[in-house]
């Protein structure tokens, strides 16, 4: 995505009735269009074929361990904040066949190598998820600003990601567990985000801006007009109001410093009493990238298949090393997750691992709130010593 500063300030207006044209255009260009859909009581992101598939007239209510959808009198598309799933599911699938091999004489022969990377266009990506994509770009080694640690290149992620199109939407109604404002990742798409098109929903349509040449080319094919003064003013107003409605907040610098020191802290015991180590927080986290690779054989012991699937630092089995599990209790596993996410992530990838989407708070069955845990530890003035934990780095 190249820089197009000349048009960065430019705005367009797409009437609401023309959202279908956008979806159609993307389908024509060979994209699988992924957008928020209302399904089984949640907003999830799924492939769609027309604008009518996109969730509309629905708002969400989110709190620790609590998520509800209700019909919304304002018949808008994007009145909800993020659901459990983000684009991570498509760039880094939860379970993926890597290859199959078979025995041929005294050696193995390769049958298939991975699936073809699909061409995805996402509609309605929130700024926090854009930020999360940028974090995973660094994790999987495709970011241009790769200054720190570089993981082994992920071909599938790379290709899927590079041929994807991201149509972001600014958040005008943040959820109860959102804190992107304090993480500097939202609620508005800025020049720091990687995106193709960003839009703000108003009653009559969308105020749009572009973030790439691909986005600029797309705009040219849409029935857009120039927005009027009132529309631009309303957009600004909505974005200011969104900042005032953040459900949570977290001071990233304070959390980073405090957690670096808090290798031992009584709060870890308290949170371990509540933590189920069920792994939900890591599964819904848009930046968590842990996976496990398993080989399976068939009954004739002729064919072997290698799969990769999402794993979690909260499971005991995932911490197994030669001498046994390296993090043998919930306390050490929760501590590892929180300290990595908010503190040691900087050393590993040059940023925080948290984008403030609030998913881990909402989807924790018992509502453990990382902003609360971090704030309590940060408020402890007795934290002075800095030690290194026995195992700081994830995977």
Residues forming the site for another protein (CB under 8 A): 39-42, 44, 65-69, 84-85, 89, 94-95, 273-280, 283-284, 294-301, 309-312, 315-318, 329-330, 362-363, 365-367
Find the shortest distance in angstroms from Cβ 69 to another protein: 8
Residue number, 312 or 371, with CB nearest to another protein? 312
Residue number, 4 or 103, with CB nearest to another protein? 103
- DSSP track, 178-231: --HHHHTS-SS--TTS--SEEEEE-SSEEEEEE-SHHHHHHHHTS--BPPPHHH
Residue number, 65 or 350, with CB nearest to another protein? 65
Structure tokens at 83: 């659901």
Residue number, 10 or 395, with CB nearest to another protein? 395
Structure tokens at 380: 């402890």
Residue number, 170 or 277, with CB nearest to another protein? 277
Q: How many residues does the chain have?
A: 395
User: What separation in angstroms does the CA of 260 have from each of 37, 148, 338?
Assistant: 40, 18, 10
Which of 350, 387, 1, 385 has its CA nearest to residue 193?
Answer: 1
Which of 180, 293, 300, 298 has its CA nearest to residue 243?
Answer: 180
Contact 87, 121 (CB under 8 A): no
Structure tokens at 162: 């590079």
Residue number, 232 or 376, with CB nearest to another protein? 376
Structure tokens at 332: 């050490």
Find the shortest distance in angstroms from Cβ 290 to another protein: 11
Find the shortest distance in angstroms from Cβ 213 to another protein: 33
Contact 248, 179 (CB under 8 A): yes
Find the shortest distance in angstroms from Cβ 307 to another protein: 9
Contact 126, 357 (CB under 8 A): yes
Which of 40, 71, 288, 66 has its CA nearest to residue 176?
Answer: 66
Instruction: Tell me how far apart the alpha carbons of residues 285 and 263 are, in angstroms, rounded to a whole number.
Output: 23
Find the shortest distance in angstroms from Cβ 176 to another protein: 13
Residue number, 95 or 387, with CB nearest to another protein? 95
Find the shortest distance in angstroms from Cβ 304 to another protein: 9
Find the shortest distance in angstroms from Cβ 1 to another protein: 28
């Amino acid at each position: 995505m190249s820089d197009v500063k000349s048009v960065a300030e430019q705005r367009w207006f797409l009437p609401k009735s023309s959202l279908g044209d956008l979806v159609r255009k993307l389908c024509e260009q060979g994209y699988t269009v992924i957008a928020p859909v209302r399904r089984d009581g949640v907003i999830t992101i799924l492939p769609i074929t027309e604008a009518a598939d996109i969730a509309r007239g629905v708002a969400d209510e989110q709190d620790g361990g609590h998520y509800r959808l209700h019909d919304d009198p304002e018949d808008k598309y994007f009145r909800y904040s993020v659901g459990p799933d983000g684009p991570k599911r498509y760039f880094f699938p939860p379970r993926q066949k890597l290859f199959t091999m078979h025995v041929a004489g005294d050696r193995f022969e390769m049958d298939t190598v991975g699936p073809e990377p699909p061409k995805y266009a996402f509609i309605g990506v929130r700024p926090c998820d854009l930020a999360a994509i940028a974090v995973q770009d660094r994790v999987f080694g495709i970011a241009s600003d790769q200054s720190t640690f570089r993981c082994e290149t992920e071909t599938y992620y790379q290709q899927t990601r590079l041929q994807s199109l991201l149509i972001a939407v600014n958040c005008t109604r943040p959820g109860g567990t959102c804190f992107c404002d304090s993480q500097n990742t939202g609620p508005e798409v800025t020049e720091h985000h990687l995106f193709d098109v960003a839009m703000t929903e108003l009653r009559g349509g969308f105020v749009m801006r572009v973030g790439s040449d691909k986005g600029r080319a797309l705009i040219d094919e849409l029935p857009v007009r120039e927005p009027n003064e009132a529309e631009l003013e309303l957009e600004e107003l909505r974005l200011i109001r969104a900042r005032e409605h953040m459900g949570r907040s977290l001071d990233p610098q304070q959390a980073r410093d405090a957690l670096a020191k808090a290798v031992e802290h009584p709060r870890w015991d308290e949170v371990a009493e509540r933590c189920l180590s069920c792994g939900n927080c890591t599964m819904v986290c848009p930046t968590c990238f842990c996976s496990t690779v398993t080989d399976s054989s068939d009954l004739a012991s002729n064919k072997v298949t290698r799969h990769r699937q999402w794993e979690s630092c909260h499971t005991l089995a995932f911490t197994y090393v030669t001498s046994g599990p390296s993090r043998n209790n919930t306390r050490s596993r929760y501590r590892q997750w929180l300290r990595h996410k908010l503190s040691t992530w900087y050393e590993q990838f040059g940023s925080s691992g948290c984008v403030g989407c609030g998913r881990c708070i909402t989807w924790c069955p018992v509502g453990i709130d990382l902003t609360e845990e971090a704030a309590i530890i940060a408020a402890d003035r007795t934290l002075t010593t800095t030690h290194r934990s026995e195992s700081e780095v994830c995977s």
